[in-house]
Homo-oligomer: A and B are copies of this chain.
């Protein structure tokens, strides 16, 4: 059994490393987003709308971990560009449902392809063992991140 101090130091080093990796990964990927003609947050929100289907504005804000006023503005921008449509709910007229237009779906598919390709290309060249390590690590990191308050 390792001493507690050593465990902590090891975990600190891991945490530091992963933080740094996240920063660099995102910086690299974000450059690609620009080419889609959409900023990161807009592309990300559009992605949720496309894949999760019509959502209320609040649901979308929660999914993107953003406050409602911020999402209002993102949706306005997406709507101005014709990528998304706001549909009122007949039963509860306070509610705004957001759904992707066909053009929104197309733009997302392209932007996503570009963005993912940037990471996917080097990942496709890893050997199968390494790919498997990444798959398992993703689950672990996913749990760690999900556990954060």
State the A residues within 8 Å of B (CB). Answer: 7-8, 10-12, 14-19, 21-29, 44, 65, 112, 115-124, 126, 130-131, 133-138, 140-145, 147-148
Check B123–A14 contact: CB distance below 8 A: yes
- Are B133 and A18 in contact, with the CB atoms below 8 A? no
**Is A25 a contact of B27 with CB atoms below 8 Å?**
no
| Cα-based distance from A124 to B15 in the complex (angstroms) | 9
Measured CB to CB, the closest approach of chain B to A44, in angstroms, equals 7
Contact B11 A138 (CB under 8 A): no
What 8 A-B pairs have minimum CB-CB distances, sorted nearest first? Answer: A137-B137, A15-B119, A11-B124, A15-B120, A28-B148, A22-B22, A11-B120, A11-B123
Chain B residue contacts of A12, Cβ below 8 A? 116-117, 120
Question: Is the CB–CB distance between A25 and B22 below 8 Å?
Answer: yes
Contact (Cβ within 8 A) B21 A29: no
